[in-house]
Chain A
Amino acid sequence: RGGEEEEEVEEGWHQLYPGHIPTSPLQKALLAAGSAVMALYNPYRHDMVAVLGETTGCLALPNLRDKMKNHPEGYRILQERPRIRLSTLDMARLRGLPDGSLGREYVRFLEDNKVSPDTRMPPKFVDDEELAYVIQRYREVHDLMHTLLGMPTNMLGEVVVKWFEAVQTGLPMCVLGAAFGPVRLSARKLQVLATELVPWAIRSGLNASCILNVYYEQRWEQPVESLREEIGIFPPP
């Protein structure tokens, strides 16, 4: 029985990119459900949030990819496939940039919140190599979103960024995160969220051009304010 199955093996299974795990529709459905439950049960399971994004992004990701293809800067990003990682960033140079510039503020954000761009999960369950890059790019740009929106990495800040991303990308994971994230916030924070932050995030998200169409690595020197204006993000409250 083992031998006969072996012959079928080679054709059915192929890895499209390193780390890719091909999954059947049933497995994707189970993963989506399981990761959603686990992410709610244990918010520290960032890998579950990532898996949820991958398994539910089948409509939103091609959409994003097309937006990128149809934009000159986004197209270049798809061609060149830049990665935001500690090994590719020149931290010393960024730290040396003037205050208010994207590079300086980004490094400040990383240090203040004690986060690193290297902790982003590589995609596993996306069955298209280009879409896998798109979701990877979205993850790596997330910290830059924090910087542009001026939001810290606490629960409140993350929820605000999720609202912005939900409007921008349409990824179901962002929508779910935006909707369920506030569940764990105190009443006072919820009020601030509902009255000021979320409306602002939504307005900015709708007004702004696609955030994946910005080649951030070539704009470290640009002041944050100017970049905000260019993209269409309203100043944070």
Chain B
Amino acid sequence: VRLCRCRCRALLSRSAGVLRALRGLAAGPEMHFGFQTVTEAERREKIYQVFESVAKKYDVMNDSMTLGIHRVWKDILMHKMNPSPGTLLLDVAGGTGDVAFRFINYVRSVRERQLQRKLKHHQNLSWQEIFDSYQKDKFNSLGDSQVVVCDINREMLKVGKQKAQHLGYCEGLSWVLGNAEELPFDDDKFDVYTIAFGIRNVTRIDLALQEAYRVLKPGGRFLCLEFSHVSNPLLSRLYDLYSFQVIPVLGEVIAGDWKSYQYLVESIRRFPPQEELKAMIEDAGFFRVDYENLNFGIVAIHSGFKL
């Protein structure tokens, strides 16, 4: 583990330090980018570049790094959300569309069951009436549900749109370029707001949470799926070992990009732990804030309501 600690650090050459000192006053407060210290502006730029470069291999890498378990995490998020047809979802940092597609699938299957139940109750209707009811509901397989995928990164959205086309998702799906800290949407618009594995990359988390509060309707729900902290010491060491030794190697071999995945594991370590994030969500005005640990805290789902 000590090996991990010594080895897996960001570079801080002397000249960069001098430059930073000179620019420091003008460019804004110091922030972290993984284990490096950078200005706010630099951080945004670097993160943009990370996702620009990983966009095409994002899904493959997710599967390799988590051995496919990220799919289960996202499924659990969807079950927790339990959306009913007619829900308007905003998926921020939704990039390649994983949460959005799951939402559509979920709502579609709920809708199907709804229709089946309706049919059962209408078994005494005439054939004509049954046929008519098909017509009415046929063009409403989603039941007016909609999901807006918002991401700050063009490349990620591009990959998401291509995926949607490839998989056949067209109804009820919109793609918007936007910044979580300053959403291009009006107040009180959405029923649910999700941000899956995205809030870690936001530079001002407090602003993103405030925006989430703003765009949600009263009664709306905030859901955040994110890497979090493992408290079990043995598991934590194994997790560190895997994160720092294996993941950058996977990044290099599969995506030809060591640095982005080094950033990824470092940013996870830098992100506030469960209780701290809960407090931040409460500060933004949400009520009934709670979290659920998945896999001993490797991942956590935080939930809050706007009343």
Give A contacts to B, CB under 8 Å.
1-2, 5-6, 8-15, 21-24, 26-27, 30-31, 34-35, 37-38, 45, 47-48, 51, 124
| Complex interface: chain B residues within 8 A of A5 (CB) | 5, 35, 269
Interface range on chain B (Cβ under 8 Å from partner): 20 to 34
Complex Cα spacing A5 to B13, Å: 18
The answer to whether B6 touches A31, judged by C-beta atoms less than 8 angstroms apart, is no
A47: nearest chain-B partner, CB-CB: B256
CB distance from B63 to the nearest CB of A (A): 15
Cα A15 to Cα B248 with chains together (Å): 17
CB pair A13–B7 under 8 Å, yes or no, is: yes
Q: Is B245 in contact with A8, judged by CB distance below 8 angstroms? A: no
Taking a contact as CB atoms closer than 8 A, the residue among B6, B13, B35, B258 that contacts A21 in the complex is B258
Take A2-B269, A30-B246 as given contacts and tell me if A9 and B35 are in contact as well, using a CB distance cutoff of 8 Å.
yes
Q: Please, how many angstroms separate the alpha-carbon atoms of A11 and B7 in the complex?
A: 10
Contact A30 B245 (CB under 8 A): yes
Say yes or no: is B10 at the interface (Cβ < 8 Å to chain A).
Answer: yes
Nearest-neighbour CB distance to chain B for A56, whole angstroms, equals 14
Indicate if the CB atoms of A31 and B7 lie closer than 8 Å: no
Query: Which residues of B sit under 8 angstroms from A51, Cβ to Cβ?
Result: 252-253
- Interface pair B253/A11, CB less than 8 Å apart: no
Minimum Cβ distance to chain A for residue B276 (Å):
12
Contact, CB under 8 Å: B253 / A48 = yes
Kindly identify which residue among A2, A6, A13, A27 contacts B248, using a CB–CB cutoff of 8 Å: A27
Given A2-B270, A12-B5: A45 touches B11 (CB 8 Å cut-off):
no
Tell whether A12 pairs with B253 under 8 Å between CB atoms, given A27-B245, A30-B245. no
Task: State whether A23 touches B6 (Cβ < 8 A).
Answer: no
Return the chain B residue nearest A10 by Cβ.
Answer: B12
Complex: chain B residue closest to A51, CB-CB? B252
**Cβ distance A72 to chain B, nearest Cβ, rounded Å:** 35
Closest to A8 in B: B5
B9 at the interface (CB under 8 A from A): yes
- Residue B31, interface by CB 8 Å: no
Contact (A34, B3) CB under 8 Å given A9-B35, A15-B13: no
A11 near B249: Cβ-Cβ < 8 Å: no
Residues of A within 8 A of B5 (CB): 5, 8, 12
What is the bound-complex CA distance between A130 and B301, given in angstroms? 49
Q: Which B residue's beta carbon lies closest to that of A15?
A: B11
A223 to chain B, nearest CB (A): 40
Q: Closest CB-CB distance, B75 to chain A, in whole Å?
A: 29
CB distance from B19 to the nearest CB of A (A): 16
Residue of A nearest to B36 (CB): A9
Q: Contacts A31-B253, A34-B249 given: A23-B12 contact, CB under 8 Å?
A: no
Whether the pair A13, B6 counts as a contact (CB closer than 8 A) is yes
Check A124–B9 contact: CB distance below 8 A: no
Complex Cα–Cα for A28 and B35 (A): 22
What chain A residues lie within 8 Å of B246 (beta carbons)? Answer: 30
- In the complex, the chain B residue whose C-beta lies closest to that of A45 is B256
Interface string of B1-36 (1 = CB under 8 A from A): 001111111111100000000000000000010010
Q: Check if B250 is an interface residue, CB within 8 A of chain A.
A: yes
CB distance from B181 to the nearest CB of A (A): 22
Complex interface: chain B residues within 8 A of A9 (CB): 9-10, 12, 35
